[in-house]
Chains A and B, each alone.
Chain A
Amino acid sequence: MAQMNFPFLTIGWLALATGAAILLSRKIGLRSARSVAVGSTGLAFACLFASAWTVMGSTDVLVRDPWFPWFAGDPIAAVPMALLGALMLVNVWISSRVRTRPEALGAFLLIGSGTMMAYVAAHPLVLAAGWWICCAPLLVGTWDEVGAHRSIKGQVIVACTAMTLLALLPMIAPATEAVHWALAALFVLAVALRHGLFPLHGWLIGAFEHGPLLRITLLFNGQLALLLVARSKTLLPLAIATPVLEVICVLACLASLIAGVRAFAERKPRRVIAYVLVSVSASVLAGLASGDIKAIAGAMLLWLALSVASTGIVAVLRALEARTTFAFDPRDHLGLGAPAPRLAVFFLIFGLALIGLPGTLGFIAEDLLFHGALERFPLLGVTLPLATALNAIHLLRTYYLLFHGRLPHHAAKIPDALDRERWSLGIFVAFLIILGLVPNIAITWAGPAAERVRSSLSELTIP
């Protein structure tokens, strides 16, 4: 097994964890807090990018960290993790310089460090620890003033416990048939809860509606359930791995469609967007679990597009909510496109990238995903394009609700995208469009990674 020539993973993780610890200690001013957060995420991104570069250039399946042997990079997780590092950096960069509280940034970094730990885990227990750490801000968070919090907390605890048992059970119990079925049940439960598959999606929607948007989006974009599915054949006995994945694929297809239908009864932008994101991520899960090479590659590309587009769309929504409280629950069309046309265009582009606008990465991703899914499950696969069609309607509806209509007096002078927002979101748009026009760049990663997911080469091995 190959080894990195520098401890990128350990240093990257330490940067995030140390940053989180400093910020959560609350002994730091607002401006210093932002500098610490930018420094931590910047260092983490540099390390993750370097580790991704090393892993992609290596012929080995796993490239171990020289300092901490339970950390290793593999081609499946390397690119999404580096992208997540970039998204974290941008999110911290565009956060308000004077209003963002240190503990909010600390919680953000803690979620990032937990997610990173799960991505680079070379042992199931490290993976489980990553799940707990990234959910920690949600479990002991400061946003428990809303009534929904207890229910959300309960579901998150169940998901993390299922993951922990999944990691522990093979070590403490003999490999009997009963244990196999218990593992299968735990696996499905952990994936369905963490991913928000119907009917276990309530916590994610509630978290998006009531929680801090950027932190919840980071938690969502961690997509730890996808990682679990990508590594399923090492966590599950081979005898039951295939049927379990088929069950997850069926659940994900249905969940994608149901979330698309459910959003028709919603009007709040946060909830509508949450349903759309849940629906798209369920499509990604379905593709990944389908076992078809085209569907897996499409799902992996959609994973990237979803991460960038969802971060962008949430950043726009957050910017609007910071400018006018009416954006949280508009009773009528708000007309914010007049004073903030650039935010409107960013919202539209990110939304359309999510539903596969030609010329964006989403188009290629969904083309591959639909081809694979429809070939693998001709009838069930139809749910994915149908869900995408419904999601498109919701996004346009929300776009018109927020940005078109007669502008209320109180919102007449809200600023358009600030420079830092414009540049950051512009980079996201450029990412989606460049990879959409020249998709071979992304397919160079997604093709081999998809092949490895299919042949389950990405193994978690105990050092």
Chain B
Amino acid sequence: MMELLLPPLTVALIAAPGCLFLALATGWLLDHQPTERMLARITLVLHVALGLILGYLAFALWRSDSDHLLVDRGRWFTLGDFGIPIAFLIDRVSLTMAALTVGLAGIVASFSARYMHRDPGFFRFFLLLNLFTFGALVLFLSASLDLLFGGWELVGLSSVLLVGFFQYRRDPLRNAVRVFAAYRLADLQIVIATVLAHHWFGGAKWSDMLSGTGSEAAWIVVLLLVGACGKSAQGPFFGWLARAMEGPTPSSAVFYGAISVHAGAYLLLRVQPLIAASEVATALVIGAGLATALVATVAQRTRPDAKTSLAYAAQTQVGLIFVEIGLGWTGLALLHIVGHAMLRTMQFLRAPSLLHDHHKLHAAAGGQLRPADPLFALLPMGARYWLYRFGMAAGHYDAFMDRFVVAPVMRIAKMLAVFERGPRLAEPLPKPRTTPVLERAVS
């Protein structure tokens, strides 16, 4: 009985938010939009149902003799011997992440029903939240890198669309494009890793990949590490998380405090045996995590606004999670992810009433509340100034990227215009213009 119910329930768990998204979007295109209350209720009921299914899956896993359950639904498509398997893996890691997703997305949906009340983008927000839940469930439950990538992209897309949620201001739009650029360049590495996994290991299922050894496995894991850094704002992709704070606070909570920001860590947890087998990969994971944690913790202390400060704090913790994975402490890393996601969601959701909370705390402490940075107070004044400047500039990351990546690309793009301007063309050359995203960098 349990084996019979497992496949349809797993598919239902993943497909339900996607179907709701499609139904809502189709209805909207046909001029049928539910009321705020109706939409919030549907979403809440969906998350309760998903929670019940997850409970069943957890029970099935507990009752089974194996440490994992595999739900194989054949192939999405087949061309010769190539195809993308529709297979889902239920084990303690994937189930934990799926439970986090359903739980926290449900809490955020419930919170947003009031927080976003009468916002012109209420419907859009819930639509994207459902798309995100669908993408995250695909990401965490997939048994192969191919399918994981599909979910990974959907999470990225919904994240970017929510960063640009407040459409009347320019900054969110600029920042959303920056975030998207970081995502796409990082995702490129996952595409290449998937192709290499098919080429070298004959498939991209976790079981295929973990059978890999030697330099091939090391190459793949390094590429995946870059992809993971992109999603988790670590190492070379350090700069985007603070920009992503332009979105609505509930989406910041569920994306950058809880689920999306940990997706990279989840990917590394999945391939941890490959990381452990390669000294280079181990060093890179630890190095990326440690460097990000150090820079982010300094930057966090200099931020005047609550959300950006929380974003850097989240990066610090994710950096430490990377270090734990690099050291092979996978159990601790998973625990750290769960604890951090919950705490950070709560902090983000409380961020709009931070001053109120602070005043209450201040009064409760009898006016004796002190800054909680005794370590920095021990440093000499010169070092503190230097660290302050370093933190304010977020490790000079943006300046570096603008000067050595964005500006050269723009120069090349303008130079290439030479090939389009023939001598017989009557139209004068347009004045060189920069894109809205990049104009600040060039100036």
- State the A residues within 8 Å of B (CB): 146-148, 150-151, 154, 198-199, 201-202, 205-206, 258, 261-267, 293-294, 297, 333, 335, 337-338, 342, 345, 352, 356-359, 363-364, 367-368, 370-371, 374-375, 382, 385-386, 389-390, 392-393, 396-397, 400-401, 403-406, 422, 426, 439-440, 443, 446-447
Which of A151, A262, A393, A396 gathers most chain B CB within 10 Å? A396
In the assembly, what is the distance between CA of A294 and CA of B181, in Å? Answer: 28
User: How many positions in chain B have a CB within 8 Å of any CB in the partner chain?
Assistant: 60
Minimum distance in angstroms from B202 CB to a CB of chain A:
13
- In the complex, the answer to whether A147 meets B425 with C-beta atoms within 8 Å is yes
- Residue in contact with B180 in the complex, picked from A337, A382, A392, CB distance below 8 Å: A392
Task: Decide if B385 is an interface residue (CB 8 Å cutoff).
Answer: no
Chain B interface helix/strand/loop/mixed: helix
Bound-complex Cα distance A148 to B426 (A) = 6
Given A359-B154, A393-B177, 16 new contacts (CB under 8 A): A148-B427, A199-B419, A206-B420, A258-B416, A261-B412, A261-B413, A265-B416, A265-B432, A265-B434, A266-B433, A356-B153, A358-B135, A403-B167, A404-B167, A404-B168, A439-B77
Could you tell me the distance in whole angstroms from the C-beta of A413 to the nearest C-beta in chain B? 17
Q: What residue in chain A is nearest B161 (Cβ atoms)?
A: A348
Residues of chain B within 8 A of A267, CB atoms compared: 433, 435
Docked complex: B171-200 residues within 8 A CB-CB of A: 173, 176-177, 180-181, 184-185, 187-188, 191-192, 194-196, 198-199
In the complex, identify which listed stretch (B79-87, B109-117, B288-296, B367-375) lies at the interface while the others stay far away: B79-87
- Mark B residues whose CB is within 8 Å of A: 25, 29, 76-80, 82, 84, 135, 146, 149-151, 153-154, 157, 160, 164, 167-168, 170, 173, 176-177, 180-181, 184-185, 187-188, 191-192, 194-196, 198-199, 409-410, 412-414, 416-417, 419-422, 424-427, 432-438
By a CB distance below 8 angstroms, the chain B residues around A199 are: 419
A153 to B151, CA, bound (A): 46
Rounded to whole angstroms, the CA-CA distance of A261 and B177 in the bound complex is 15
Complexed CA–CA distance, A447 and B410 (Å): 40
Residue from B146, B151, B177, B199 in contact with A396 in the complex, judged by beta carbons closer than 8 Å: B177
Provide the bound-state CA to CA distance between A199 and B416, in Å.
9
Q: Which residue of B lies closest to A356 (CB)?
A: B153
Q: In the complex, A392 Cα to B427 Cα: how many Å? A: 29
Residue of A nearest to B186 (CB): A389
User: Which chain B residues border A297 with CB–CB below 8 Å?
Assistant: 79
Tell me the bound Cα distance from A267 to B168 in angstroms.
19
Kindly state the separation between the CA atoms of A460 and B433 in the bound complex, as whole angstroms: 48
| A404 proximity list for chain B (CB < 8 A) | 164, 167-168, 173
Q: Are the CB atoms of B416 and A367 closer together than 8 Å? A: no
> Assuming A261-B416, A264-B413, A400-B177, is B78 touching A440 (CB within 8 A)?
yes
User: What is the bound-complex CA distance between A258 and B150, given in angstroms?
Assistant: 27
